[in-house]
């Protein structure tokens, strides 16, 4: 899987938007961008994924740069429950046996 680069940590205040960046300059045309998060003492949790177009779901939005070399996960109004490690992962489209290659992720701290 191609490599991603994320900041080690970020901080936010409750009810403010959070923009979590991810660089993936070696992304190929068939790589999907996935985001997972891991809350304390829990297993990773799927957040969102996309290929080229921006994506929205009930948890977050994913903004993908036009050249696809970077993306941003947007939490529109951070809550204390959003404090977690956020992982940006690239997956080859089609059959890739389901493996997710996790990096170190970004530790998000949310202040009351």
Query: For residues 33 and 26, what is the distance between their CA atoms, to the nearest angstrom?
Result: 12
Query: For residues 45 and 39, what is the distance between their CA atoms, to the nearest angstrom?
Result: 8
One symbol per residue from 88 to 107: x for binding other proteins (CB under 8 A), - otherwise; what is it? Answer: ---x-xxxxxxxx-xxxx--
One symbol per residue from 52 to 91: x for binding other proteins (CB under 8 A), - otherwise; what is it? Answer: ---------------------------------------x
Q: What is the radius of gyration, based on Cα positions, of the chain?
A: 13
- Interface residue with other proteins among 11, 16, 17, 46 (CB under 8 A) is 46
The terminus-to-terminus CA distance of the chain in angstroms comes to 37
Residues that bind other proteins (CB under 8 A): 32, 34, 36, 41-46, 49, 91, 93-100, 102-105
């Amino acid at each position: 899987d191609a490599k991603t680069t994320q900041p080690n940590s970020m901080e936010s205040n409750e009810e403010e938007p959070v923009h979590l960046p991810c660089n993936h300059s070696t992304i190929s045309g068939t790589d999907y961008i996935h985001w997972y998060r891991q809350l304390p003492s829990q297993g990773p949790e799927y957040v969102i994924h996309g290929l080229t177009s921006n994506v929205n779901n009930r948890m977050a939005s994913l903004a993908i740069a036009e050249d696809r070399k970077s993306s941003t996960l947007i939490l529109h109004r951070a809550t204390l429950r959003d404090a977690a490690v956020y992982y940006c992962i690239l997956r080859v489209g089609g059959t890739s046996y389901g493996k997710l290659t996790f990096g170190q992720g970004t530790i998000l701290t949310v202040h009351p």
